[in-house]
A = this chain, B = another copy of it.
């Protein structure tokens, strides 16, 4: 289910901002906590190893190692923000297009109810079936790509049990000899039923505009489903996704070492454990890189505050991309297709079977003079 929070930001006040941060479902906290804990765990292990296990020589080597990698932190590594910006833009665009193409039976239902006349059993059955076929196609299409639909309706059998398809239709579908997928067939049946209704004089019309209009709307519906299918079957090239996802993870892999706090004093309880070669120290202290470390060690922090802030930022951002990448999966933000199918069927049947033509008695509004 998509996570609603627009109410919270109806006014841009500081208080609303705070409330926004305190949500859990679909939040930054929920998507990153696992990886953050893992990362902190390894970071701590490395830190403990350095502080407690290593002897002086190993320490120096470790410190050199840290210094070496600390050149590759921040934007001088690879400009993460930039590539994330472009990638997330692309993913958000595709995600929104998919959302807008998920398909609703409402438009066709209103036209069917309005254009196809007659409320005898047969006509009503045809009208209802047109809608059912639309939902059937939708279900068969999403069955391939949606995590949720696959769980509810694992196969055609399940769809039959749900009443979306009956034996006769199942057989007709099987009898059709085609090497390609057959999930568009019900849409053709709908079109065929409409044509039949026209032939039978059930569509009162001076021209053929009504049929053309109905066909156009059905085509629109089908094209929308096709688009969703395309977005899922022709994803962003794998290499692109790998580059982005890998870059962020490598960044924090390196940060495990590069952002370790080094204990230059090597003093435990005032006793210098590793008296260093003084010349080495002096040349180092007069060098360019060292002071940064010195400043850093002015505060011997055990917790890598700054890196955790970056973790919120970069991993949070890439997680947004990951969860939008396949909006038919099982994330908090993902679209609820099963609910959509149910709603499409309910609404569609309600509209064609009576509701549409039950207009209230017309009485004058209070505004007229």
Contact = CB atoms under 8 A, between A and B. Distances in A.
A175 B292 CA distance: 74
A240 interface: yes
Given A71-B306, A285-B287, A12 B319 contact: yes
A72 B132 CA distance: 59
A258 to B, nearest CB: 11
B365 A168 contact: no
Nearest to A100: B230
A49 interface: no
Contacts of A359: 172, 189, 192-193, 196
A323 interface: yes
Contacts of A247: 312-313
B86 A88 contact: yes
A325 B6 contact: yes
Contacts of A26: 237-239
A82 interface: yes
Nearest to A72: B306
A209 interface: yes
A152 interface: no
Interface in A301-346: 301, 306, 309-310, 312-314, 316-317, 319-320, 322-326, 328-331, 333, 343, 345-346
Q: Which 5 pairs, one residue from A and one from B, show the smallest C-beta to C-beta distance?
A: A10-B329, A64-B298, A287-B291, A12-B322, A288-B291
27 contacts: A6-B326, A9-B241, A11-B147, A11-B329, A75-B79, A79-B82, A86-B89, A92-B240, A110-B188, A114-B192, A126-B362, A129-B365, A132-B367, A163-B366, A180-B346, A188-B351, A193-B359, A193-B362, A206-B206, A209-B212, A237-B320, A239-B316, A239-B320, A240-B317, A287-B291, A288-B288, A289-B291
